[in-house]
Chains A and B, each alone.
Chain A
């Protein structure tokens, strides 16, 4: 069975500081991993995804994530936070050949950015 754990339901950083949102997954087969961002009362927007190939994945808005198989992690980072980054972030996992309905979400991490 697959699962996703996001450490920290709430992360607060200062504007310009490093953003690090943690995601660990559990999967018995090679995973596909996703990070989504959700602004209040809106749907999910894909930030980036890892399927195969390069383990360091770059996404939109300056975010990137690195797939580390040995650590079963897919942490999301951004070198310098911006006020507009304040939102809810969800990590999700599925696997090659799996039904898209098997997209398993973490519980989310709310990112606050202080001026």
Chain B
């Protein structure tokens, strides 16, 4: 149980385009989902926290207009990188937790490369 999936696992796009990444909790209802960004050989940096049905809370320094997060249902959250630039290239990881849980379940990550 407690499986989180991400789609796509890898995406390459041209500069200026938008990319949508999906995060799904497959066998549980995720009241809260988190989006992280990981640069090569570095740790995870929390970008934002999203609760189902409400606006995401962004960490300081994260542009909410550039990284659009939607958590429309208890099993799906999406991260859209708008007008992507090469500096947005990174590994994006989502995680999810239930209302009662204190453990985050992580997705497998999405490798974004912007040319």
Contact = CB atoms under 8 A, between A and B. Distances in A.
A45 interface: yes
Given A41-B91, A41-B111, A44-B93, A100 B42 contact: no
Nearest to B44: A105
Contacts of B109: 41-43
A51 interface: yes
A96 B103 CA distance: 11
B103 to A, nearest CB: 7
Nearest to B91: A41
A49 B105 CA distance: 13
Contacts of B108: 42-43
Contacts, number: 54
A100 B44 CA distance: 14
Contacts of A36: 106
A43 B111 contact: no
Contact of B102 (A43, A45, A100): A100
B88 to A, nearest CB: 18
Interface in A57-99: 90, 94, 96, 99
Contacts of B41: 108, 110
Interface of B: 4, 6, 32, 34, 41-44, 46, 49, 57, 91, 93, 95, 97, 101-109, 111
